[in-house]
Amino acid sequence: MTAGGSDAVESPIRVGISACLLGEEVRWNGGHKRAQFLFDAFGPSVQWVPVCPEVEAGFGTPREPMRLSRVDGTIRLVTVTSARDQTPRMEDLIRRRVPELRRDGLSGYILKSNSPSCGLERVTIFDRQGIETGSGRGLFADALLHQFPELPVEEEGRLSDPRLLDAFIERVFAYHRATKNTSSA
């Protein structure tokens, strides 16, 4: 029995995360960006939900690197060397995968910084000639924020700041408590 007298099982705290940050070799070059500090900070208290939008969209590993490009006024996901527009494949993945994440009962999400799919902010945008024209948000990250406006979401790069990491962990646990109380009411 739990402290409240119920024998309900405590639901795990589930946090979505860019799969490369867990050490999965899914990056464009076949590598990873394991962020050990996240494991150390969260410890065993979270259940990680790994997502690599680029692999799940069928781009494979390794793959030609991609970047965000402004084409005719819209942001597109384009391969660097062959200039192939991969936006439709990413949009198909987003339409399928982002709603699935709602069923996963996430209490937070950690994205890979600077990624054309997962970057939360300051992702470089190029023009057709490959000249930097500004910055924006990765396509998957943008869809995630629109679908889950209240969900605590952050980039691993910013979480290397201990104060931001502590604040994010508090937000994740508070979100978990709030949504657990809402779903059990």
Q: What are the structural domain ranges in the chain?
A: 13-166
Predicted confidence at residue 7, as pLDDT, reads: 40
Q: Please tell me whether the overall predicted TM-score, pTM, comes out greater than 0.75 for this model.
A: yes
Which pLDDT belongs to residue 128? 85
pLDDT on residue 1: 32
> Would you list the DSSP string of 10-43?
PPPEEEEEEGGGGT-S-STTS-----HHHHHHHG
d(C-alpha 181, C-alpha 185), whole Å: 6
Neighbours of 159 (CB within 10 A): 21
Instruction: Please list the pLDDT of the chain residue by residue as tens digits (185 residues).
Output: 333 444 445 788 999 999 999 999 999 999 999 999 999 999 898 999 999 999 999 999 999 999 999 999 999 999 999 999 999 999 999 999 999 999 999 999 999 999 999 999 999 999 988 899 999 999 999 999 999 999 999 999 999 999 999 999 999 999 999 998 665 54
